[in-house]
């Protein structure tokens, strides 16, 4: 597991390739590849150059505002932050457990969030790569290309995403900035008409989810060896699981397994996560590098998200997803599936599970219950952990006696995958960028590896007209020797 | 999924993050217009929507509309604001988590198999986007001018 490529021995004698920013990745990242005189990749790093400032944004705010406030951290996954903060504030208000109505409505909201996030990623961001191949024209390899070639698939993607958004709207009360979850419970339950509204389309939604899983399997098996090997790395994996080992997104204990699937820890109370996970800092990235303490910094990095969750759980509690999980695990032949592109397959199994779970919950009479909130004695700190679409998300807060946040600590999903993304880049770079001239197809291989993790590198700033991609090739003297520039129109020019 | 009976013929769609400095211009415009709509009847034929950013599902919000006005913050336009007609266009925003309004129109055209409604983009000049930062004073001034412009149009946004 340790990499020899992160820090080369004599970087000043190497050639530097810079790729920035990444397309189809939220926020701006930069990839630097260092080549030696023989065009071998000696160093590979995914730099995160934007300081996010989340903790500072939160400090000084009253704890009861947190579930609403933190939605503004990220325009991509506001519901994940909303629910993680709500769980942390449950602890602060002394609500050791939620009412059945509150817990089920939060779960419903979370299934909606995961459904819409996974639908966007598969149908919009990654399916063009998978459907058309990595060497296809980049102008074709986007959602419009998908729509032109497979209009029904594309339409299903839009409507799956829309359905997930509707679940969020109904459960949180608003399209965005909802106040659905509050410290100790929820703000509102569902009406019968709201339930009927969501039930109306759910059978169709489940059907489309099943078709999506079959599609990703077909794609995976069409080039089985390639998909299995691409950016494949042996990693530890961490996720939340239920008390019975069931797949879980909302609540449970922490489970970590090593690259062979052997347990590292299991059913850990997430409130004690600091005893099991630490973060290291590197001077070339603002994003920290978490690792499992008992294994250490060098080998203790891990993966989170769909691949880790499907590998780690013992079963899915819904039948269609469980059938798909068994088929997925069979390709590992008793070992965890480590293929980075298998993230996409795992993601769609989760999507299918979300649709089944939504259908089940919509038949539960607790959704219209009136017992919405619990509370107890005020506590000085709270920790909330959920499985966000991209992986395990930690929120920890400490408050003063006025209820004002003194300290906030967040480990977001993408940070958990930080080292793993670097490792995947190195694998791809070593395999494909072997010193040949820069080409769009080769560079896209690196992007495909990163996109598999669906990273969310920053928040919702989105000034129009700021999305070019620039690729610089520098020699060992830091002199520019080649440059590719992708403009906002999609046109690619060699500008050196 | 969109009920035609529940849709006003015109739509004003704003977007942005209220906690990212001038990125709040879109949602701030939404608040101003919503308030105006509550107090008067001048925007009766207009639905107001807001979100963090544009995405593929917003193509569904364009169904059954006669006209759409998108409102956003931008750093590359002149102060106080600019308005331009939009055409459906497959630009590179398709490859990101946030799409351009022209790209949303293109998705609409592809999934519905007919042309999107006439659409305009009003871009309010913005200056800074830091997390937790308040909206800048010049941006606030630009917001007010853009708001007055929209109010002056009333429900006649198709005449932009």
- Domain residue limits, chain B: 4-159
Q: How many CB atoms lie within 10 A of CB A24?
A: 22
A157 shares contact with chain B (CB less than 8 Å):
yes
Interface of A with B in 13-42 (CB under 8 A): 23-26
Q: Where are the alpha helices (DSSP H) in A283-399?
A: 306-312, 319-330, 342-361
Q: Which residues of B touch A142 (CB under 8 A)?
A: 90, 92, 94-95
B20 shares contact with chain A (CB less than 8 Å):
yes
Q: Which residues of B touch A459 (CB under 8 A)?
A: 17, 20, 131
For residue range B68-100, list pLDDT tens digits in order: 999 999 888 899 999 999 999 876 555 455 688
User: Which residue among A76, A143, A456 places its CB closest to the CB of B94?
Assistant: A143
* pLDDT at res. A66: 96
What tokens were used for A345?
């397959």
Inter-residue contact A304 to A417 (CB < 8 Å): yes
Q: Which residues of A touch B111 (CB under 8 A)?
A: 147, 151, 154-155, 158
Interface of B with A in 110-149 (CB under 8 A): 110-111, 123, 126, 129-132
Q: Which residues of A touch B91 (CB under 8 A)?
A: 488-490
Question: What is the secondary structure of A252-275 as a DSSP string?
Answer: -EEEEE-TTS-EEEEEE-GGGGGG
Is the Cβ pair B53, A120 closer than 8 Å? no
What tokens were used for A292?
């499992």
Q: How far apart are CA B94 and CA B13, in angstroms?
A: 19
Residue A15, classified by CB atoms within 10 Å of its CB into exposed (0-12), middle (13-18) or buried (19+), is: buried
Q: Which residues of A touch B100 (CB under 8 A)?
A: 464
Is the Cβ pair A459, B100 closer than 8 Å? no
Q: What kind of architecture, by CATH, is found in domain A55-415? A: Orthogonal Bundle (1.10)
* pLDDT at res. A78: 87
Q: Which residues of B touch A59 (CB under 8 A)?
A: none
Q: Which residues of A touch B125 (CB under 8 A)?
A: none
Is the Cβ pair B50, A490 closer than 8 Å? no
Is the Cβ pair B17, A75 closer than 8 Å? yes
Is the Cβ pair A460, B95 closer than 8 Å? no
B61 shares contact with chain A (CB less than 8 Å):
no
What tokens were used for B45?
């034929």
Q: Is B65 helix (H, G, I), strand (E, B) or coil?
A: coil
Is the Cβ pair A125, B95 closer than 8 Å? yes
Chain B closest-CA separation from residue A359 CA (Å): 18
> Which segments in chain B show pLDDT lower than 50?
95
Which DSSP category does B39 fall into?
A: H
pLDDT digits (tens), chain A, 496 positions: 444 444 555 555 555 555 444 443 444 456 777 777 777 666 677 766 555 678 888 999 999 999 999 988 877 788 999 999 999 999 999 999 999 999 999 999 999 999 999 998 888 777 666 665 555 555 445 544 555 666 777 788 889 999 999 999 999 987 777 789 999 999 999 999 999 999 999 999 999 999 999 989 988 898 899 889 998 999 999 999 999 999 999 999 999 999 999 999 999 999 999 999 999 988 777 788 999 999 999 999 999 999 999 999 999 999 999 999 999 999 999 999 999 999 999 999 999 999 999 999 999 999 999 999 999 999 999 999 999 999 999 999 999 999 999 999 999 888 899 999 889 988 887 777 656 566 676 677 777 888 888 877 542 233 333 334 555 655 566 556 666 665 555 566 666 6
* pLDDT at res. A120: 86
Q: Which own/partner contact pairs does B152-160 have at CB distance under 8 Å and 24+ positions apart?
A: B154/B42, B154/B43, B155/B10, B155/B42, B155/B43, B155/B44, B155/B45, B155/B46, B157/B10, B157/B12, B157/B46, B157/B67, B157/B69, B157/B120, B158/B10, B158/B66, B158/B67, B158/B118, B160/B69, B160/B83, B160/B85, B160/B120, B160/B122
Is the Cβ pair A465, B20 closer than 8 Å? no
What tokens were used for B141?
């001034």
Q: Is A40 helix (H, G, I), strand (E, B) or coil?
A: coil
User: Which residue among B56, B93, B129 places its CB closest to the CB of A461?
Assistant: B129
Can you name the CATH fold of B4-159? Rossmann fold (3.40.50)
* pLDDT at res. A451: 83
> How many Cα atoms occupy the beta-carbon half-sphere of B49 within 13 Å?
20
* pLDDT at res. A326: 98
The residue extents of the domains of chain A are 11-50+421-494, 55-415
Is the Cβ pair A459, B50 closer than 8 Å? no
Query: Nearest residue of B to residue A156 by CA position?
Result: B111
Interface of A with B in 77-96 (CB under 8 A): 78
* pLDDT at res. A111: 98
* pLDDT at res. A427: 85
B78 shares contact with chain A (CB less than 8 Å):
no
What tokens were used for A146?
């998908």
């Amino acid at each position: 597991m340790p990499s020899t490529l992160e820090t080369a021995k004599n970087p000043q004698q190497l050639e530097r390739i810079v790729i920035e920013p990444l397309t189809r990745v939220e926020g701006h990242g930069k990839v630097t590849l260092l080549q030696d005189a023989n065009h071998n990749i000696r160093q590979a790093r995914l730099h995160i150059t934007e300081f996010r400032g989340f903790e500072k944004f939160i400090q000084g705010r009253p704890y009861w505002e947190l579930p609403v406030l933190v939605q503004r951290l990220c325009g991509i996954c506001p519901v994940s932050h909303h629910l993680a903060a709500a769980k942390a504030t449950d602890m602060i208000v002394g609500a050791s457990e939620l009412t059945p109505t509150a817990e089920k409505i939060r779960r419903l909201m979370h299934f909606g969030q995961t459904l819409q996030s996974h639908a966007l990623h598969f149908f919009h961001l990654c399916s063009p790569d998978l459907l058309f191949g990595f060497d296809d024209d980049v102008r074709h390899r986007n959602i419009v290309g998908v729509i032109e070639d497979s209009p029904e698939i594309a339409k299903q993607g839009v409507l799956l995403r829309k359905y997930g958004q509707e679940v969020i709207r109904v459960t949180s009360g608003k399209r965005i900035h909802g106040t659905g979850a509050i410290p100790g419970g929820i703000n509102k339950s569902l009406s019968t008409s709201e339930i009927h509204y969501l039930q109306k389309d759910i059978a169709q939604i489940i059907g489309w989810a099943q078709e999506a899983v079959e599609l990703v399997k077909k794609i995976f098996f069409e080039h089985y060896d390639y998909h299995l090997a691409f950016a494949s790395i042996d990693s530890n994996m961490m996720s939340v699981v239920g008390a019975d080992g069931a797949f879980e997104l909302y609540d449970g204990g922490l489970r970590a397994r090593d690259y062979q699937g052997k347990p590292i820890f299991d059913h850990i109370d997430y409130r004690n996560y600091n005893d099991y996970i630490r973060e290291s800092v590197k001077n070339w990235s603002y994003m920290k590098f978490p690792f499992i303490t008992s294994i250490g910094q060098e080998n203790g990095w891990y993966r989170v998200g769909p691949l880790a969750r499907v590998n780690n759980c013992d079963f899915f509690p819904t039948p269609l997803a469980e059938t798909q999980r068994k088929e997925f695990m069979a390709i590992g032949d008793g070992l965890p599936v480590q293929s980075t592109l298998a993230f996409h397959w795992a993601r769609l199994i989760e999507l299918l599970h979300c649709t089944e779970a939504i259908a089940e919950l919509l038949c539960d009479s607790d959704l219209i219950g009136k017992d919405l909130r619990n509370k107890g004695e005020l506590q000085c700190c709270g920790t909330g952990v959920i499985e966000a679409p991209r992986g395990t998300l930690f929120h920890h807060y400490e408050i003063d006696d006025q209820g004002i946040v003194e300290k906030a600590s967040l480990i977001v999903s993408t940070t958990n995958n930080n080292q793993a993304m670097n490792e995947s880049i190195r694998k791809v770079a070593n395999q494909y960028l072997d010193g040949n001239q820069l080409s769009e197809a080769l560079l896209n291989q690196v992007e495909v590896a990163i996109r598999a993790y669906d990273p969310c590198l920053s928040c919702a700033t989105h000034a129009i007209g700021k999305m070019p991609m620039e690729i610089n090739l520098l020699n060992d003297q830091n002199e520019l020797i080649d440059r590719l520039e992708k403009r906002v129109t999609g046109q690619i020019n060699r500008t050196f | 999924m969109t009920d035609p009976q529940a849709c006003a013929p015109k739509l004003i769609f704003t977007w942005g993050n209220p906690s990212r400095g001038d990125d709040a211009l879109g949602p701030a415009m939404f608040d101003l217009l919503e308030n105006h709509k509550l107090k008067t009847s001048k925007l009766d034929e207009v639905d107001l929507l807001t979100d963090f950013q544009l995405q593929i599902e917003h193509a569904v919000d364009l169904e059954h509309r006669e006209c759409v006005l998108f409102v956003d913050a931008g750093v590359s336009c002149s102060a106080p604001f600019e308005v331009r007609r939009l055409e459906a266009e497959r630009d590179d925003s398709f490859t990101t988590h946030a799409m351009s309004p022209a790209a949303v129109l293109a998705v609409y055209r592809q999934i519905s198999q007919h042309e999107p409604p006439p659409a305009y983009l009003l871009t309010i000049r913005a200056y800074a986007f830091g997390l937790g930062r308040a909206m800048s004073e010049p941006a606030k001034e630009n917001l007010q001018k853009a708001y007055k412009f929209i109010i002056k149009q009333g429900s006649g946004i198709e005449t932009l």
